[in-house]
Amino acid sequence: MYIVIGGAGMMGLRLAQRLIDNGHTVAVIDTDATACQYAREKIGVMAFEGSAVDTALLLEAGIMKANTVVSTLSSDALNLALVTLSKNYGVPQIVVRLNDRDFAQPYRIAGASHVISTIDVAITRMVNAIEYPEVEAMMHFEQGQVEVLKLPIPEQCYIAGRSVAEVASHPQFPSGSLIIGYQSHPQADLIIPNGRTVLEEGSTILVVTKPNRLRQIIQFLGLSANHLPTVEVSD
């Protein structure tokens, strides 16, 4: 894919690096000459110095052939302008970082495909880490109507050594919940389990459930804080 990123701040540069690593072609636009130089020399992307809402510069950066435009500019007003221009140039997918929630609807009206609040994502992850320390990771879907949990199966865990079918058929297993992924150890591939899959100690499972079932499913699985692995988190 050919991807244009408006803004070469920390988020824009890290995103560019990840996209390059995934095999995409990336161009970034920023008014900061130093950031553009870093993007070219250290990341290996095309970098255009100037305003990301300058139509001449957008055309030079190849917006007409872009599959995706990502707007990570410093203000919502500038982001909104880039979303509008991208839509005008027929970009099929437009992703924008939201700073002020008042801009959420204007972004949608202007044509943004995805509106992402990085602050809300960070706060949600922190709250989850505080309230649910047993959970290695948690993702939200459909505005928080569905949760996907990544849970460890430590020693002496209630479900260790039992099959998925045995666990799911237990009368106390929370209704509306499913075990949808299984990883036997950290280096193993994640698989979609079937009813015969046995959940071993030291493995990891993915469980989909409703928000009001979170604590119930953690308690049913027999997880406790003193079984938690040490997890290192980098920026």
- Domain extent, residue 143, equals 124-227
Residue 107 sits in the same domain as residue 136: no
Asked if residues 77 and 84 have their Cβ atoms less than 8 Å apart, the reply is: no
Out of 116, 151, 168, pick the residue that ends a domain.
116
Name which residue leads in pLDDT, 125 or 7: 7
Is residue 89 assigned to a domain?
yes
232 located within any domain: no
Has this prediction a pTM greater than 0.75? Answer: no
Give me the pLDDT at residue 210, please.
85
Q: Count the neighbouring beta carbons within 10 Å of the beta carbon of residue 4.
A: 27
Q: What proportion of the chain, given as a percentage, has pLDDT over 70?
A: 84
Are residue 108 and residue 158 in the same domain, yes or no? Answer: no
* Interval 47-97: pLDDT, tens: 999 999 999 999 999 999 999 999 999 899 999 999 999 999 999 999 999
CA gap 113, 107 in Å, rounded: 9
pLDDT digits (tens, 9 = 90+) for 90-122: 999 999 998 888 998 999 999 999 998 877 666
Q: Are residues 48 and 152 in the same domain?
A: no
Q: Report the pLDDT value the prediction gives residue 55, as an integer from 0 to 100.
A: 96
Whether pLDDT at 231 is above 70: no
Q: How many CB atoms sit inside 10 A of residue 137's CB?
A: 14
Residues above pLDDT 90, as percent of the chain: 51
**Mean pLDDT along residues 153-163:** 82
Q: Who contacts 36 (Cβ-Cβ below 8 Å, separation ≥6)?
A: 8, 28, 30, 47, 48, 49
Average predicted confidence (pLDDT) for the chain: 85
Residue 88: which CATH number? Answer: 3.40.50.720
Q: Which stretch, 95-109, 151-165, 208-222, has highest mean pLDDT?
A: 95-109
Domain boundary among 95, 116, 137: 116
**Residue 218 sits in the same domain as residue 135:** yes
Q: If you average pLDDT over residues 164-169, what whole number do you get?
A: 90
Lowest mean pLDDT among 20-24, 52-56, 217-221, 231-235: 231-235
Contacts of 101 (CB under 8 A, 6+ apart): 117
| Domain shared by 45 and 66, yes or no | yes
Domain boundary among 97, 116, 135: 116
